[in-house]
Structure 1
């Protein structure tokens, strides 16, 4: 380890040489060399993680450049892992960098993950996340989760010290397949840089033992309002009992009786105009709700949903909305599990979609 490279870390109270040595001995696997994976790799490499493996088989496209800022126009058409590792080697020659130029699948996941201490998931689809989660549960590896949607990001530390898993956070559902990734829905380039950096920070905390990792908590970052919200994630014992991988992690798009329904802003207007009996629940924070809300909505922040079950029990039709559609999706899954006979709807795209549509949904304050 270079004597001067990490001197600021070593001087840092509560960190010091002991924590730096832990980083040097650690092995981190990053699954995905895109918007989340590139900033995470940059900072983990910079701080002195000893071994970094990077899994991806994609080639660089022009549309990647606005958010995957380590890539340049001359890199278009090259393999992401080759290009990223070349950049990282120049940044920190001391790091052992492992190029895994393939997609992770049920046939290679356990062998790939077994060699690492911490897994940072920077993929962009539910199937891969469930696969990575299940492999991490079987192998006992912490799983640093990050995701982005519209102007909103999420971060959590899963499967850490007997904490909740990804399946505790997002029970498997056919509607997960219907949520667009950033290629389909768009994303502001700076957001994955922010969330990927948060993932790197959580990995450092897990490796070194400093601070309080986001285990049992989901941090939601709303970049438009600069709001950071943390909600509790309950741990379900059955999700810790996985002992083998499924043969196929592609998401089934067939609806089941446990699924909620998707509702566009136009559909919401139609329901309002028809005088349908329903309860519209806004699951954003109190501050977000006060700034911008639908007049028909009541505010029950996501972290308080489980405390309001009695007052919702008699309602036959529940419509859930948040800022971008992610929190409301989680609330819809929670409420469908609690009230399986109720009709539950998630407003697609949330308040962002309502605002950008031409629809006047009964007034927005």
Structure 2
């Protein structure tokens, strides 16, 4: 490294865990970032600041005024511009020592393999399930580590997939929800600082993995609640419990069925016994619910023994995501038949 690089990265080079060797690893690394939106903006900023040698950013969307409250790379003058290109312009100004490659289009089945193949690691900050599954499957096929993040209203998730034999995205979420059951920021909203918090954690995971220090979130799913700063880490369990201390491997998904409101109403009409548990936060339950008992996902592990036994246990949340995590917790201790219902399915 030359004097300019030594001066720019001095504050992280002096970290014992980093040193010159770690900075050289960052300099030689190439990272592809999927999405230059809420998560992509802080993520790209910190990766660029850290001195990653080459960063690719792919996004086919344009900057809209409703993006500006959370997508901090963009200015009012960027409205209407492609996000990948606008982000690359800003990042080049922040650190001209980093090579930024903009892909001003969406990732799809035709271009994904070719683009991902050119990078050491992939970071997924996309906002839709088809892209997430496409990115995951390509990373599995190409043996690329995938850092994943997502946000919804006040909640964020981060994990590291396909890392050194660890589980992939499908181990955590085997199947995508139906298209009409998927919420988005335009319909549900998102707190402005949340993507900054989650994107920073994602960038931290990238730097740790590239440099080889710390413990990455491989085989674990971090869930952050910005309302009360509750942060929990769920284990993505290995198939064989005896391998607990070994490198995580893909898991067998806990068995459950997804049902809609109509099916639940039919059970009520036939007086079929079931227990409905809403695993959202109390404020969400108070604003809108379809009945049942409210036990937050974050409290479920501690309260599971107090839940009365029923032959059918129905778990409810907004989109189904929290319910799927609840299935993993409950199935370890209970033997009821498990069902998932999302509030969004009321329109189906």
What's the TM-score once normalised by structure 1's chain length?
0.76
Aligned to 2:150: 147
CA contact (8 A) 2:323 2:340 kept: no
Q: Pick one of 176, 196, 202 that aligns with 1:199.
A: 202
Q: Are 2:314 and 1:319 aligned?
A: yes
Change (3 A) 1:222 1:75: same
Shift of 1:331: 3.2
Partner of 1:58, secondary structure, is coil
Q: Pick one of 118, 123, 136 that aligns with 1:120.
A: 123
* Number of equivalenced pairs: 324
CA contact (8 A) 2:318 2:342 kept: no
Q: Which runs of 5+ in 2 are unaligned?
A: 241-248
Could you list the per-position Cα deviations for residues 276-309 of structure 1 after superposition, in whole angstroms to 9, with x for gaps in the alignment?
632234557xxx78xx99996375957977xx79
CA contact (8 A) 2:177 2:320 kept: no
Shift of 1:232: 0.6
CA contact (8 A) 1:61 1:77 kept: yes
Could you list the per-position Cα deviations for residues 4-23 of structure 1 after superposition, in whole angstroms to 9, with x for gaps in the alignment?
11111111122211111110
Q: Give the whole-Å Cα distance in 1 for the aligned partners of 2:325 and 2:271.
A: 27
Aligned to 2:246: none
Change (3 A) 1:146 1:104: same
* Backbone CA RMSD of aligned residues: 3.9
Shift of 1:149: 1.1
Partner of 1:3, secondary structure, is helix
Q: Pick one of 75, 78, 83 that aligns with 2:81.
A: 78
CA contact (8 A) 1:27 1:118 kept: yes
Q: Which runs of 5+ in 1 are unaligned?
A: 241-256, 350-365
Which aligned pairs between 1:251-266 and structure 2 lie closer than 5 A? 259-262=257-260
Q: Pick one of 19, 22, 35 that aligns with 1:19.
A: 22
Aligned to 1:355: none
What's the TM-score once normalised by structure 2's chain length?
0.80
Partner of 2:6, secondary structure, is coil
Q: Pick one of 259, 265, 273 that aligns with 1:277.
A: 273
Partner of 2:8, secondary structure, is coil
Shift of 1:335: 7.4
Q: Pick one of 290, 293, 307 that aligns with 1:297.
A: 293
CA contact (8 A) 1:283 1:327 kept: yes
CA contact (8 A) 1:81 1:101 kept: yes
Partner of 1:52, secondary structure, is strand
Q: Give the whole-Å Cα distance in 2 for the aligned partners of 1:176 and 1:235.
A: 30
CA contact (8 A) 1:231 1:303 kept: no
Q: Pick one of 185, 189, 206 that aligns with 2:188.
A: 185
Change (3 A) 1:300 1:77: closer
State which drifts further: 267-276 or 137-146.
267-276
